[in-house]
Structures are given as structure tokens and as C-alpha cells.
A = this chain, B = another copy of it.
Amino acid sequence: MSNLTILYHFAFHPGSRTARLALGEARIEFSEELVKPWEDDCPLHRLNPAGMPPVLTVADRGKILTLCEADAILGWIEDRAKGDVLMPGDLFERAEVRRLTTWFNRRFIDDVDAVLLHERMEKPLLRLGPPEARMLREGREALKVHLAMLEGLAASREWLAGRRLSQADLIAAGHLSVLDYFGEIAWASYPSLKTWYSKLKSRPCFRSLLSDRFPGVQPASWYTDLDF
């Protein structure tokens, strides 16, 4: 079974990291296939019409189930268990998980990833030239606003959406862990968020993320440190 469960992912893509964390939390074994979505012969192009990672393929009653992108993988993890794995039981907390999912899927990607990760990650990968100072500044200012919002949540709750670890934490960790690798998070300014992140970082699901290395860029000195 586990040999047929394959995650096609790019190690520094936030949604790909969310999928790895979620499969780890749900204790689902999987093989990994590292992909480069920007290359013409990338297997993603035949698996997902949108051409994006992560994609999980799973054998199901003699057929292959192809789960395209993080939301489909997260949804399948819930469906498969016929119960709440990474979703709280409480209706109010479920609403909060979904609000935060929308926040990350639109606002965080538009304001931060599409600016700051584009400059620091996509440009070197796609050989688009050096980062632009103005864009770096803009992305960092936007990141501060989002981190302040998340600090408020982490200060008042055990996990981002409430009393238990949920999809919202793993979605947030997918984005923040990539930014952290590039040294973009000044944790000292966000003490509650730092505590939240350190709890997540200590979980077994997180281990493989800490050994990822981006070509030509060493991780921030505290990236792999559990007591950062």
C-alpha cells in the first residue's frame, strides 16, 4: 500500500510542506517524488491540470486516486478516517480553521509568498535575475502585518484555530517554515507565535522539513534548532 501512496512535491513550496506535515500527523506512509514544476517534463503536468504541487496518488480499490493540491489532500485525510483527524469537532473551531485557510490561500500568498518568496526563491530557481530591493521591502512589510495577526491568535489560543492542532496550523507552518529557512522571520518580536512554532517543530512530522536544503542558500542559523 505505502509504495503506491506517492507524494509529488517541491520541498520549498508551502502547500507541499503542508501536505508532508499532514500526512505525517495522520501517520500515513508515503513515498516521495521530488518535482520541479517549472520544467516541461515535470510529471505534475500529467497528474494535475493546474501543473502545481503537491499531488498525492493513492491506490483505491484497484484504481489510482489522484489528489491535486493541499486542500484535496487535507480533505482526503479526513474522509479516509471518517472522523476528525486534523479538524476540530467544535463548529466554532471548524469555522475558524476554514477562515484561516482562506486567509492563507488568498491573502498570505498574494501579500507575502508572491512577493517575498518570488524574489528569494523563484527568481534564483528560474534564473530571473537578482531580487529587487523594493519588492523585498514590500514583502517584508506585508509579512509583519500577517505575523502580528498570527501572534494575536497564538497569544490567546493553544493552537491557531483553538484548542487542538488543526489544518490551520499545518497550513501556516507550510508558509512560515519556508520563510524561516530564508531567515525572514524575526521570532523575538512574536513570542507567542515562537512558542507555537517551537511546539510544531518538535513534532515528528516536522523532522524531514528540517533536513531540506535549498541550492546555494544555507538555512537561517536557527532553522534546524528546536530551542531557537
Contacts and interface: CB of A to CB of B under 8 A. Distances in A.
A69 B104 CA distance: 13
Contacts of A66: 95
Interface string A77-111: 00100000000000110110011011101110100
B71 A95 contact: no
B107 A95 contact: no
Nearest to A103: B50
A102 B171 CA distance: 14
Interface in A128-181: 149
Which of A79, A95, A103, A105 has the largest number of chain B CB atoms within 10 A? A95
A52 to B, nearest CB: 8
A68 interface: yes
A65 interface: yes
A67 B50 contact: no
Given A102-B50, A149-B49, A76 B92 contact: no
A33 interface: no
A105 B107 CA distance: 12
A48 interface: yes
A99 B48 contact: yes
A60 interface: yes
Contacts of A109: 106
B50 A95 contact: no
A94 B75 contact: yes
Contacts of A76: 91, 94-95
Interface string A36-66: 0000000000001110000000001001011
A210 interface: no
7 contacts: A49-B103, A50-B99, A63-B92, A70-B102, A71-B98, A72-B98, A76-B95
